Amino acid sequence: MFSCNEIQASTGSFFKYPACVTAAQTAHANLGLVYVGIQASTKEAKINFGAATRLATSVGLWIALILHIIGVELYVRPSCCHPPFHR
């Protein structure tokens, strides 16, 4: 989801997106509050590549968080119940 302001800054115009055109024609519309769904693709315009990057980044962050939580649990759980080894 991109706001109409982000679309205008990235592409120079937002006439391909009807929601932005409607908001621009409204007298007191704030274009920063109107969001439009953009197709995520690496083969098209820069705005589509940006949508793909946003999608991949958010999914990657969630996967990293889950892996770290599971990894810490697997590391801490065996060490909490066993006494330390002495030489």
pLDDT 10s digits, 22-43: 888 886 778 888 888 888 888 8
**Can you give the pLDDT at residue 34?**
87
Q: What's the mean pLDDT in 47-74?
A: 90
Rounded Cα–Cα distance for residues 51 and 44 (Å): 11
Checking if the pLDDT of 72 tops 80, the result is yes
Rounded Cα–Cα distance for residues 60 and 27 (Å): 40
Please state the pTM of the whole predicted model.
0.62
Q: What's the mean pLDDT in 6-29?
A: 83
CA 10 distance to own-chain centroid? 17
Checking if the pLDDT of 3 tops 90, the result is no
Q: What's the mean pLDDT in 65-80?
A: 82
